[in-house]
Amino acid sequence: MANVTSVQTLVDGPRHVVLKIDGVLDTSDLSSTLVIDPSTLSAMDINGVKASQLRIDRIIFDVEDLLDVQLFWDATTPVRIWNLVGRGKIDARYYGGLQNNSGTGKTGKITMTTQGWVASATLSFTITLELVKQ
């Protein structure tokens, strides 16, 4: 087989975006893999303008033991958003969300990588991202 990842857009509204990301790794870790590009979102924001970046308000994750998933803001030098290990929830709404602070070459995209795949193992993860268009 081969690694399988999928990103399902559950909500693409005028302000909010909700994604469900699933991955099953059976051959290697993931190198930089696109999660979302705000320019591909279909709905306009409340002012009729397409979003150029996103804020992360909440992350809910279930990452199989031995594996960790790293989320990045895409830029000339990608900036790590969070390292997801095990199971949990990050609720950043109370302090304004996780803002894209990637600097030079900022694209607005979110990417991911993994670490920890073990030869002859099949490891999986599921992540839900609740985002706000900016």
The average confidence (pLDDT) of the chain is 93
pLDDT tops 90 at residue 46? no
pLDDT tops 70 at residue 64? yes
pLDDT tops 90 at residue 105? yes
Q: Between β-strands 110-115 and 33-36, what pairing exists: parallel, antiparallel or unpaired?
A: antiparallel
pLDDT tops 80 at residue 48? no
pLDDT tops 80 at residue 47? no
Three-class HEC string of 96-126: CCECCCCCCCCCCCEEEEEECCCCCCCEEEE
**Which residue range forms the structural domain that includes residue 61?**
4-133
pLDDT tops 90 at residue 132? yes
* Nearest alpha-carbon partner for 134 in 113, 114, 112, 108: 108
Q: Between β-strands 16-25 and 123-133, what pairing exists: parallel, antiparallel or unpaired?
A: antiparallel
- Identify the pLDDT of residue 119: 85
Domain count, the chain: 1
Confidence of residue 82 (pLDDT cuts 50, 70, 90): very high
For 113-124, write each residue's pLDDT tens digit: 999 998 888 999
- Identify the pLDDT of residue 101: 92
Question: For residue 124, what is the domain's CATH number?
Answer: 2.60.120.1330
pLDDT tops 90 at residue 98? yes
- Identify the pLDDT of residue 1: 66
Go through the chain and tell me how many residues it has.
Answer: 134
